[in-house]
Amino acid sequence: MATLEVVLGDITGEDVDAIVTAANESLLGGGGVDGAVHRAAGPRLAEAGGAIAPCGPGDAKVTPAFDLDPPVKHVIHTVGPVWDGGAYGEAEILASCYRRCLAVADEIGARSVAFPAIATGVYGFPAKQAARIAVRTVRETPTKVERVRFVAFDEETYELLSAELA
Ligand code: ADP
């Protein structure tokens, strides 16, 4: 099982093999964390994303990391659920995002992966439930990834993820 960590910060500065972005189905770039990742990786990221799109909710696809600083070699694009009250499979789709990202990480041989708090921004997934799903799913998923780092962008998310890890 992977070692799990939580840090507060900007995911584009993480020193891992692969960073995950919370994308939309077009993989052309968006706001929030996806905007930051696309700015850091440069315009080739949208070209590469567009070429392998669409990516459905709960799925994940990989591209090179382009202009992101080493050691980051890959960007794993995953599409979270748009929160609609919780009765539309949102929790299962979110868990699937984490599982599929780890499966993709295994395929590309990534040993360290950084995740943002998928779906908890514009997509509206409640932060506490999302933190529980993130930690539980990563713990329960067999993977060759050795280090998983959850990157919180705000204090509340950091506290929620830390509490789940404890
Ligand atoms: P979604 O559309 O899946 O909800 P968002 O990007 O709107 O995605 O938000 C997902 C999470 O990513 C939120 O917790 C947001 O605060 C966080 N976030 C935004 N920018 C960054 C960043 N540069 N690094 C890490 N997390 C970020």
Q: How do residues 47-72 score in pLDDT, each as one tens digit? A: 999 999 999 999 999 999 999 999 99
Q: What order do you get walking across the sheet with 112-115 strand by strand? A: 3-8, 147-152, 112-115, 18-23, 74-79, 60-64
Q: What is the pTM of this model?
A: 0.98
Q: Is 106 a catalytic residue?
A: no
Mean pLDDT score, 135-160: 98
Substitution candidate for ligand 1 out of 25, 33, 59 with most atoms within 8 A of CB:
33
What pLDDT digit, counting tens, does each position of 84-99 carry? Answer: 999 999 999 999 999 9
CATH 3.40.50.300 fits 3-165, yes or no: no
Confidence of residue 147 (pLDDT cuts 50, 70, 90): very high
